[in-house]
Amino acid sequence: MEYKIIDEKYYEALAGAMSMAYSEEPWNERWSEERAVRRIKAIMGNFQAFGLAAIENEKIAGGILGYIDPYAEEDFFYIAELFVIPEKKKTGIGRILMMELETVLQKKNIPAIQLMSIEPNEAFYAKCGLRRDDVSVLFKRC
C-alpha cells in the first residue's frame, strides 16, 4: 500500500472509492458519479485543501480530504472526508491515513484536527486520539 498526497488527476478515482465506501452500513448512500466528483472538487476547492490517498495496485483503497481552517489564535485542519472502500475496511488503512495526515500537518505547523462524525465512527476516531469538542452540529432542512 502506498500513501501519498493527491492532485486533481485522482478526483474521479477518489469519487468512485468514496461512493463505494458510503454504499454500505451505516450510510447506505447512493452517489451518482457526477455528485461524487462534485463533492471531491468542492472539498479540494477550499483554502489550502489537500488530500491523501491509500493506493494499492494503482487503485484507490481509501482517502482523507480536507483543508486548513484559519481561526483566531491558530489554524486547524478540517477533515471533510475520510473513507475506505468496503473490502479494505478494518485493515488499518483509515488509521494509517490519519497518521500520515498528522505527519503532514506537523510539517506545516498545523496543531489541530477537527471533523464531524456519526456516532458509530466515534470509537475509531477515539482510537486515533480525537475527542468530542464543545461544539454542536445544528441542522435544518429548508
Environment class of residue 52 by beta-carbon count within 10 Å: exposed (0-12), middle (13-18) or buried (19+)?
Answer: buried
Q: What is the pLDDT of residue 88?
A: 96
Q: Output the average pLDDT for the chain.
A: 94
State the pLDDT confidence band at 134, using cuts at 50, 70 and 90. Answer: confident
Query: pLDDT tens across 43-102, in order?
Result: 999 999 999 999 999 999 999 999 999 999 999 999 999 999 999 999 999 999 999 999
Backbone φ, ψ for residue 129 (5° rounding): 95, 5
Question: What's the CA gap between 8 and 68, in Å, rounded?
Answer: 18
Q: What is the pLDDT of residue 23?
A: 93
Does the domain spanning 2-127 belong to CATH 3.40.630.30? yes
Tell me if the bond preceding 70 is cis, omega within 30° of 0. Answer: no
State the pLDDT confidence band at 138, using cuts at 50, 70 and 90. Answer: confident
Q: What is the pLDDT of residue 136?
A: 80
